[in-house]
């Protein structure tokens, strides 16, 4: 049986925006669950990922400060993971490659915190503190690469302390 585009849109909207289960969305749309699953899979294969849209819709519904906090808190573990990988692989990387990786990571972090701090005064204080640390890290990279390597060992832990005291 052919289903209408309206039914498909209703199922998608119920799943994505109303956050109903796919089973409930299918039922409300008057289609079998298997049809809804096929639509969802087909949409994903064509660039419309219902799961991603659902997550984005949930984020868009958050108050501004919570949205910014969520985005930053999602970024921090990634940043920490990269720093940890640099520490683990420090013997495999030349000081110059370590410096380049740190500079790139610091730049990304600075941009993330700068954008977040514009939208949240609470994060602004943290951004000032982290920018100061990043500038000190850049200074060490220019003056003493070995000292910069030691700096990397301790900055992650200290960054967590900053987050607690300024968060």
Q: What is the pTM of this model?
A: 0.43
Query: What pLDDT, on the 0 to 100 scale, is given for residue 126?
Result: 63
Q: What is the pLDDT of residue 42?
A: 93
Q: Looking at residue 139, what is its pLDDT?
A: 83
**In 3D, which of 100, 101, 166, 78 has the Cα closest to residue 129?**
166
Rounded (10°) CA dihedral 142, 146, 152, 154: -120
- Residue 147 pLDDT: 81
Regions of the chain short of the pLDDT cut 70: 1, 59-67, 117-128, 130, 156, 159-160, 162-167
**101, 108, 107, 100: which is closest to 83 by C-alpha?**
101
Sign of CA dihedral 154, 109, 71, 86: negative
Please provide the size of the chain in residues: 167
pLDDT in tens, 51-75: 888 887 776 666 666 667 777 777 8
Residue 36 is predicted with a pLDDT of 95
pLDDT at 127: 64
């Amino acid at each position: 049986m052919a289903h209408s585009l309206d039914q498909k849109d209703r199922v998608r909207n119920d799943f994505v925006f109303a956050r109903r289960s796919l089973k409930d969305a299918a039922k409300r749309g008057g289609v079998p669950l298997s049809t809804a699953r096929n639509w969802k899979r087909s949409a994903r294969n064509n660039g419309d990922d219902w799961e991603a849209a659902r997550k984005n819709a949930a984020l868009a519904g958050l108050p501004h400060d919570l949205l910014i906090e969520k985005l930053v808190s999602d970024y921090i573990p990634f940043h920490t993971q990269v720093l940890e990988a640099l520490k683990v692989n420090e013997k495999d990387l030349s000081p110059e490659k370590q410096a380049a990786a740190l500079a790139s990571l610091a730049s990304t972090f600075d941009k993330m915190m700068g954008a977040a701090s514009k939208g949240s005064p609470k994060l602004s204080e943290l951004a000032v503190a982290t920018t100061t640390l990043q500038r000190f890290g850049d200074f060490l990279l220019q003056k003493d690469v070995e000292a910069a390597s030691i700096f990397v060992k301790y900055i992650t832990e200290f960054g967590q302390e900053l987050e607690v005291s300024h968060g």
